[in-house]
Structure 1
Amino acid sequence: MTDYIFKAGNPLLAPILLLHSTGGDEHQLLPIAERIAPGHPVLSIRGRVNDNGINRYFKLRHAGGFTQDNFDLDSLALESQWLADEILALAEKYSLDATKFIALGYSNGANIALYMTLKGIFNFDKVIALHGMQLTEINHPVSTDNKRIFLTYAPNDPIVSERNFNALIQNLETASCQNEIFKCTYGHQLTEEELVAAKKWLEIY
């Protein structure tokens, strides 16, 4: 059974897909969605991987350690397809236009949204990736036809290294994404300044 929340909004506005961080759930980003995209329909889906009470969208090989060599890539592929299928099923259930979804993800949720975009697993209209990272190098990213991506990054982030983030941007550029990067100053945590920037970006595009 999928754990999720759907909040109906203005049907003329694009639906927002919320993807929580490690340890979060379907409630975590609801206040953020209201800040960034008030009035939009919202679909928030909990990752189905649970490790001793910690929710994730895909498994780690070993406890702790958010590094590329510790991500379970088989789980990542499996759970990405599961998530894509759930989005489509719930979009049909609630009469949402699946081609207009704006993914709003934080950390673990941002990671899987970016991976799904680069692999062509789901065609989000736009992606807001708060403190996302490259999960694995993608040698041949799927062309996205100039899809717009908003990313936040902090040089002092203890999880997302500068090298990793630069590799992610290179992958996105190879996929013809139009990236806007907002640099933060408070590590891996969400800040008021990046939420304001994300809202302004969404109002423009």
Structure 2
Amino acid sequence: MTNSQPLSPFDLDQVRHLFISGDRKRSPLVLLHGTGGDETTLIEVAQFLAPDHPILAIRGRVVENGYYRYFKRQAVGVFDLVSLAEETQWLVAAITGLAERYQLNVADMTAVGFSNGANIAVHALLTQPQVPFQQVMALHAMQVAAITAPQNLDGTLVFLSYGTQDPLISPQNFAAMRDNLLQAGADLSIFQTDGSHNLTNAELQAAQTWFKAQRRDV
């Protein structure tokens, strides 16, 4: 299992990522793509949500049939929990190390994840004692593992979006994830659409409004 301490400079050089400096007085975003995406996929989304904010986008290091992901799965909706634990710790270490390299304030950092990236962001919140972001926009996330003893998330702000016609995320699964976050003490905002497993203008506008309401530097 990987170490949750920051990666060494040599190891960090192996992390495929993209950094956009933006206005360094503003709070940074860390971008976590969906299956098949990479570190460039959510750049336009981030620039819509928070123009001119620093951006750190990290590519998942798992490859499934040529598609990048953040952790392995055995089938659609069936996850490799050993890989999930290892890759969550790796991601936390990578973000922490890269934030130090680029002199980003992790106390002000917001994670923006879609699908697989949203899943690992939520899982990191629930399981990691020193997660390097204090806010999360989890777009089309699902519960990948029930956490019976989650981390204390008092004061952690989470925006969730969910499509009622999403073929990958059942209402029961979304409710279980929501309840797990509430159990941990997270402050949740939920935006529901009648769409599928894709981003919509309405949810991005809702996410932008939520983000502006939390920040003084937008």
Same fold by TM (over 0.5)? Answer: yes
Hey, what's the Cα distance between the residues in 1 that align with 2:15 and 2:99? 14
Hey, what's the Cα distance between the residues in 2 that align with 1:183 and 1:100? 26
Indicate the residue corresponding to 1:113 in structure 2: 121
Task: State how 1:125-164 maps to structure 2 within 5 Å.
Answer: 125-164=134-173
CA contact (8 A) 2:89 2:128 kept: no
Hey, what's the Cα distance between the residues in 1 that align with 2:18 and 2:133? 19
Task: State how 1:1-205 maps to structure 2 within 5 Å.
Answer: 1-61=14-74, 64-65=75-76, 67=77, 70-121=78-129, 122-205=131-214
Q: Secondary structure in 1 aligned to 2:94?
A: helix
Question: 1:156-186 CA distances to partner (integer Å, 9 max, x unpaired)?
Answer: 1100100000000100000001100000121
How many residues of Structure 1 are paired with residues of Structure 2 in the alignment? 200
Hey, what's the Cα distance between the residues in 2 that align with 1:37 and 1:184? 22
Unaligned runs of 5+ in 1: none
What is the CA-CA distance between 1:91 and the residue it aligns to?
A: 0.8
CA contact (8 A) 1:149 1:180 kept: yes
Q: Which runs of 4+ in 1 moved over 4 A?
A: none
Q: Secondary structure in 2 aligned to 1:152?
A: strand
Q: Secondary structure in 2 aligned to 1:21?
A: coil
Q: Secondary structure in 2 aligned to 1:151?
A: strand
Indicate the residue corresponding to 2:11 in structure 1: none
TM-score (norm 1): 0.95
What is the CA-CA distance between 1:99 and the residue it aligns to?
A: 2.0
CA contact (8 A) 2:119 2:138 kept: yes
Hey, what's the Cα distance between the residues in 2 that align with 1:46 and 1:11? 22
Name the stretch that deviates more: 155-164 or 93-102: 93-102
What is the CA-CA distance between 1:146 and the residue it aligns to?
A: 2.6
- Give the fraction of aligned pairs with identical amino acids, expressed as a percent: 44
Hey, what's the Cα distance between the residues in 2 that align with 1:142 and 1:60? 24
CA contact (8 A) 1:117 1:123 kept: no
Aligned-CA RMSD value: 0.9
Q: Secondary structure in 2 aligned to 1:55?
A: strand
